[in-house]
Amino acid sequence: EVQLVQSGAEVKKPGESLEISCKGSGYRFTSYWIAWVRQMPGRGLEWMGIIYPGDSDTRYSPSFQGQVTISADKSINTAYLQWTSLKASDTAIYFCARATYSSLDYWGQGTLVTVSS
């Protein structure tokens, strides 16, 4: 069974750093892209970026380029989303999802990140 299990909710202060994770199981982790998607409170889905764990090819949506870092450790089947200096506007639920050639077929449960002073 394909599963993506994300790390737990985080509460951080502005300016702090953060890394959240997404662990895949039940499939060959290196053969599928992993996408990260943001959903701000009461808003829609936003594509942040995507990584191919097989060769670490990483692509960012222009809106998120330079704002976050996406990485993966294929030895432990885990993808990461990292911030070096959080802002209040980063408060959102972040989903990881497995990407086939044309769609996001399995999703993690989401990680709520709250940034507040």
Partner 1 sequence: QSVLTQPPSVSAAPGQKVTISCSGSSSNIGKYFVSWYQQFPGTAPKLLIYDNNKRPSGIPDRFSGSKSGTSATLGITGLQTGDEADYYCGVWDSGLSDGVFGGGTKLTVL
Number of residues binding to partner 1, judged by CB under 8 A:
27
Using CB under 8 A as the binding rule, whether residue 109 contacts partner 1 is answered as yes
Phi and psi angles of residue 32, each rounded to the nearest 5 degrees, phi first: -135, 145
Q: What residues between 35 and 64 interact with partner 1 by CB under 8 A?
A: 35, 37, 44-47, 49-50, 59-62
21's tokens: 């994770």
Using CB under 8 A as the binding rule, whether residue 94 contacts partner 1 is answered as no
> Which amino acid belongs to residue 86?
L
Using CB under 8 A as the binding rule, whether residue 83 contacts partner 1 is answered as no
Phi and psi angles of residue 31, each rounded to the nearest 5 degrees, phi first: -105, 0
Q: Would you give the DSSP letter of residue 93? A: E
Stretch that binds partner 1, among 9-17, 19-27, 80-88, 98-106 (CB under 8 A): 98-106
Helix, strand, coil share of the chain (percent; to 5): 10, 55, 40
Between 16 and 55, name the residue whose CB sits nearer to partner 1. Answer: 55
Residues that bind partner 1 (CB under 8 A): 33, 35, 37, 44-47, 49-50, 59-62, 95, 97, 99-110
